């Protein structure tokens, strides 16, 4: 797998540096982009934790990856239960992880309905990953203070955030959060911005909050979208024709998590498009005027106090 970085040179999975001794978390890594990410990180020697609520599928994916990599690599991949729909699950998963590990180098963080806690399921992509990230911040900071550390937080977004403006996003209340719009994708961008602000004075100079665009990638996300919008079903063959593979789609997030260029180019809080191309942020994602990011952060903190 390879692509041209910044129209300058080829970047492939073989460009990933050795990751021996580094510890990573990938949420939802049992399929699609996450599966490829877990596989390539483990291939380079990282100890990878797959955080997922589907234990059977996660363990099956781990065994499959280990079989693909072979016993000569002796890949270290472990499972921890993490239910994105339950905020308390984030603190429980973080607690179990910190009981097992003393460092964390890389954190790589549906049809409309409500979770058991009253939060729209797609919105849980933002609130659930907020709860997990905040619960692990102390360990991330400790790791960043270690010699030769390269701590990264990688969030996943999509170009569909552009549809959020039409929905008049409002993150000041749970009702606003549950709007049936593209705001869940916007939340991940705002979370990255706010995280970088909160970490600015922490001494974590090597943390880079990056967003990649999974875009039109042939994964289960397409199947879910077609289920949500049945009128698009006839277009499925065309969509797949112009789609990229999960292996290609995962390259950008692997670049964000591992490439030394991230630090060389100071890509903190950058928005990366396929393939690892920095994308100019709109006023909506810069959040210069609406203060959506601070509202979202405050709401997530309130939800954690109430539900976690």
Q: Which range of residues forms the domain containing residue 209?
A: 18-307
pTM over cut 0.85: no
Query: Tokens 């499972």 — which residue?
Result: 79
Check whether 209 has a pLDDT greater than 60.
no
CATH number for 150: 3.40.50.720
pLDDT digit string, tens, across residues 66-123: 999 998 999 999 999 998 888 899 999 999 999 999 999 999 884 444 455 555 566 6
Residue 227 lies in a domain: yes
- Determine contact, residues 43/73, Cβ cutoff 8 Å: yes
Residue 11 lies in a domain: no
Average pLDDT, the chain: 77
Domain total in the chain: 1
pLDDT digit string, tens, across residues 142-165: 998 899 888 999 987 765 555 555
Residue 2 lies in a domain: no
Residue 4 lies in a domain: no
- Determine contact, residues 240/222, Cβ cutoff 8 Å: yes
Residue 1 lies in a domain: no
Cα separation of 35 and 27, whole Å?
10
Residue 13 lies in a domain: no
Residue 7 lies in a domain: no
* Parallel, antiparallel or unpaired: strands 106-108 and 152-156: parallel
Residue 6 lies in a domain: no
């Amino acid at each position: 797998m390879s692509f041209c970085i910044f129209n300058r040179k080829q970047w492939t999975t073989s460009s990933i540096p050795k990751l021996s001794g580094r510890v990573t978390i990938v949420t939802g890594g049992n399929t699609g982009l996450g599966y490829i990410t877990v596989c390539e990180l483990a291939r380079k020697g990282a100890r990878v934790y797959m955080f997922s609520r589907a234990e059977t599928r996660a363990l099956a994916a781990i065994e499959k990856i280990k079989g693909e990599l072979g016993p000569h690599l002796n890949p270290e991949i472990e499972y921890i239960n993490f239910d994105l729909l339950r905020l308390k699950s984030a603190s429980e998963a973080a607690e179990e992880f910190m009981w097992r590990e003393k460092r964390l180098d890389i954190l790589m963080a549906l049809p409309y309905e409500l979770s058991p806690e009253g939060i729209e399921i797609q919105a849980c992509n933002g609130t659930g990953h907020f709860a997990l990230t905040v619960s692990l911040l102390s360990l991330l900071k400790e790791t960043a203070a270690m010699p030769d550390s390269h701590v990264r937080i990688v969030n996943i977004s999509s170009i569909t955030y552009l549809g959020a403006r039409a929905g008049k996003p409002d993150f000041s209340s749970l009702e606003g959060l549950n709007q049936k719009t593209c705001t869940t994708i916007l939340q991940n961008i705002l979370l990255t911005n706010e995280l970088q602000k909160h970490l600015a004075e922490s001494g974590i100079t090597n943390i880079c909050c990056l967003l990649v665009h999974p875009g039109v990638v042939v994964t289960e996300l397409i199947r879910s979208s077609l289920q949500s919008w049945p009128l698009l079903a006839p277009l499925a063959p065309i969509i797949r024709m112009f789609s990229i593979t999960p292996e290609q789609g995962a390259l950008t997030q692997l670049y964000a998590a591992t490439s030394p260029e991230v630090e060389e180019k100071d890509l903190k809080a950058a928005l990366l498009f396929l393939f690892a191309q920095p994308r100019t942020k709109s006023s909506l994602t810069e959040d210069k005027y609406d203060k959506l990011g601070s509202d979202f952060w405050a709401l997530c903190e309130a939800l954690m106090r109430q539900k976690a």
